[in-house]
A and B are shown apart, each in its own frame.
Chain A
Amino acid sequence: MRVENFDEVNQNNYYLFSSYGIPYIENDIINAIIDINSLGKYDYFVIFIDADAATVYQRESKIYKLIEENNISLANNTSLKLIVQNRCIETWFLGNRKLYTRNPQKKNPCFIKYSSFFNDLKMIPN
């Protein structure tokens, strides 16, 4: 179950935090680690980030380096999971068969209109 504040987690809870953009994520990662460590209840710290113009490896390395340079580490009971969306989360949405169906239904006229303008299955966006 989702909680509104980071310190409200107990059992089977999660807390979501958005940086609202890659440039701001660095400070937020450090502050998140401090919050997580202060509470001591988190099993996982999961970071979702778009690759954008970088490679998956570059994004991951930058984050590991950031944590190291700030002399900070997660408490022993918390694991760090990095998920880099290549190129971005929207790419994943376009590749998801449930979201981007091969046989759009008539009840979805907007999707049909956009798909006939630019069919993502046939013309891969750059």
Chain B
Amino acid sequence: MVGISGVGKTLILQGILDLREISQGKSLGGVEWEIKFAIGKKEQNYIWRGAFERTELNGIENDFYYEDDETENLMPRPKIIFEELYQENKLIVERKENDIKLKGRHTPKLSSFKSVLNLFNEEDIISSVYENFNKIIKSDDSDVRGIPLFENFDKLLINYTTLESIQNANIPLYLKLALVYKNKMEIFNTVKENFIRVFSQVESIKLEPLEDGNLPNFFRNSPRLQIKEKNVSKWILHNRISSGMFKTLMQISQLFLCGENTVILIDEFENSLGINCIDTLTENLLSDNRNLQFILTSHHQYIINAIGMEYWKVISRTGGVIATKSSEEYKLGKSRHEAFKQLIQLSDYRKGIKA
């Protein structure tokens, strides 16, 4: 997504994340949505729409965490007014407030606050939709805060030998990286190469157990992240690595180790992963067969030029309404000027925000 600052690119990313939250049962007061999407290699088409009531708190309650036992809450929790899910234009679930029909049949009374995707996430017809919304991730929301120790790492090494099994496993990212380090070194090396493009002072990375650890047996083989920098003789241990470097390593690892059908959101690519690795990343990921989808925002000339015009969405805003258009609609691409230069000539880009 391209467009001037303030036009709404981050809001769109947030909107997509909100939909994931709604699918997981979160209540977002005052929100109305409609989304068309496709799932899987066979590309089954879906439409999902719905709306939450607006409570007197007008959305402030959206940051409030509700315990499942709703009766004890002090904050009014917004209810769903209506919700519909279509698969290939056939209505699968229809809901008007508390009256829900699944495949044409009324269901018993269920939570008024949670989306049908959450309520019926184990029903065949809905589980893949629920699972796929779960696969939407924001690139810099790393799930690793500290470096955990893993019990019986050797056992995990035996269970996860293929790249696919590691990518699709529901295990922490750091553990996936440790597994590829042992079982799929070529992938680890690709992560390492991309990391070194961002941090050129780094010579190497390893994920090895510490030799002098006084740990109990079952933790002894737990791999510890270590980085080797040029002109620094000793390996730098995980707890001495800068948080910025660690975060970038996790972001890059995420790209190569996430499961099939993951949707990855990256806001301001130039500020997160940076311009140094966009070329190798796009090269490495273009031939990937995991059916990944990337939704990025950028202002940066280099990043925008690195990504084909056919993938751009030009964002503009009139008052409170955000619009997106493709580069085809602007008839871009016929000029000899570089892609970014063609983009910034558009009045929708330059005057992206209109009253």
Q: Which residues of A contact B (CB under 8 A)?
A: 4-8, 16-20, 24, 27-28, 31-32, 34-35, 38
Contacts and interface: CB of A to CB of B under 8 A. Distances in A.
B335 A31 contact: yes
B179 to A, nearest CB: 47
Nearest to A19: B341
B226 to A, nearest CB: 43
B23 to A, nearest CB: 39
Contacts of B337: 17, 28, 31-32, 35
Contact of B336 (A5, A18, A34): A34
B345 interface: yes
A11 to B, nearest CB: 19
Interface string B190-228: 000000000000000000000000000000000000000
Interface string B315-355: 00000000000000011101111100100111100000000
A6 B341 contact: no
Main SS class of interface, A? helix
Given A4-B347, A16-B345, A31-B338, 5 more contacts: A7-B331, A18-B344, A28-B337, A31-B336, A35-B335
Contacts of B345: 16-18
Interface in B295-310: none
A85 to B, nearest CB: 20
A119 B338 CA distance: 42
A10 to B, nearest CB: 15
Contacts of B330: 4-5
Q: Which range holds the interface residue count of chain B?
A: 10 to 19
A28 B337 CA distance: 7
- 8 tightest Cβ-Cβ pairs between the two chains A and B: A31-B336, A34-B336, A31-B337, A35-B335, A5-B331, A35-B336, A7-B334, A6-B335
Contacts, number: 38
A27 B336 CA distance: 10
Nearest to B346: A4
Nearest to A5: B331
A17 B350 CA distance: 12
Contacts of B344: 18, 20
B300 to A, nearest CB: 14
Contacts of B336: 31, 34-35, 38
A4 B348 CA distance: 10
A46 to B, nearest CB: 16
Contacts of B341: 17, 19, 24, 28, 31
A124 B331 CA distance: 46
A124 B54 CA distance: 61
11 contacts: A4-B330, A4-B331, A4-B347, A5-B335, A6-B335, A8-B331, A17-B345, A19-B341, A28-B337, A31-B337, A35-B337
A72 to B, nearest CB: 11
A7 B336 CA distance: 11
Contacts of B338: 27, 31
Contacts of A18: 344-345
Nearest to B337: A31
Contacts of A8: 331
B346 to A, nearest CB: 7
Contacts of A34: 336
Contacts of B335: 5-7, 31, 35
A25 to B, nearest CB: 11
Interface in B68-109: none
Contacts of A17: 337, 341, 345
A59 to B, nearest CB: 21
Contacts of A19: 341
Nearest to B344: A20
Nearest to A18: B345
B351 to A, nearest CB: 12
A19 B235 CA distance: 47
A27 B342 CA distance: 13
Interface string B270-299: 000000000000000000000000000000
Contact of B334 (A4, A5, A16, A27): A5
